[in-house]
Structure formats: C-alpha cells, structure tokens
Amino acid sequence: MIKKIMLVEDEASVMEATQIVLEMYDFEVLALPDAEHIFEQIETFKPDTILMDFNIGLHNGRKICDQIKANPSIAGIKVLLFSAAVNDDNEFNNPIFSNFDNYVGKPYAIDELIEKITC
C-alpha cells in the first residue's frame, strides 16, 4: 500500500525537491505551498503523515499541529515538524513542539527523511 504524505512547505525549491525525493520512494505526495485550506485538504487527501514547516506564510505549524491532535477524527495522523529551527533531539524536546510526533531538520539527509516518515 502506498503511503500518503502531505507536505506543507512555503519555500518553493524545498517543496519541489522534497516532493521529488518522496515520489522517488513511491510515496503519494500532496504538496501545499501554504496552510490556507489545510483541514479541507486533510479531509479529502487523508494523509498517513504530514510533513509541516513551523512557519508557513502567515500560519503557524505548531498551532495547526495542536488543532490536528485535538481533533479525534484526524489525531492519529503522524505530524512531523519540518524546520531549520530544529536539528537535534535536544532542540525538539522544547515543550512548544510537544504535539509533533517527530521532526526532520532542514537541510535534511534523504535517508533520515525516509526513516522518520516510515517508522
């Protein structure tokens, strides 16, 4: 079964490169340049994992993650913080990231990206 990944990233080059990598590993990817209609997109796409930047234009990835985890119908979706602000476990242990399931720091190693999505 193909795993569905929602990628929410406002930096076009990072979004495009990451989408290409994920598709090379046979993931079905929905790439969003902003979080404007993210809850409608979650409802229709039904992702297994959301890879989300911390700052997405005018939206805050932490607040969106908090809303996802507070909604019983979608709380089971794995949400990974995708940010240059977090590059190790010590930084990720900050309480503001507590609702994220894990993180992928930018720049990322492809093997780390795939491992964190699949585990």
pTM, whole model, 2 decimals? 0.95
Q: Write out residues in the chain with pLDDT < 70, as ranges.
A: none
Residue holding tokens 């406002």? 10
Question: Do the Cβ atoms of 80 and 104 come closer than 8 Å?
Answer: yes
What is residue 94's predicted lDDT score, i.e. its pLDDT? 92
What is residue 57's predicted lDDT score, i.e. its pLDDT? 82
Count CA within 13 A, CB hemisphere, residue 93: 3
What is residue 87's predicted lDDT score, i.e. its pLDDT? 87
Residue ranges of domains in the chain, CATH in brackets: 4-118 (3.40.50.2300)
Q: What is the CA radius of gyration of the chain?
A: 13
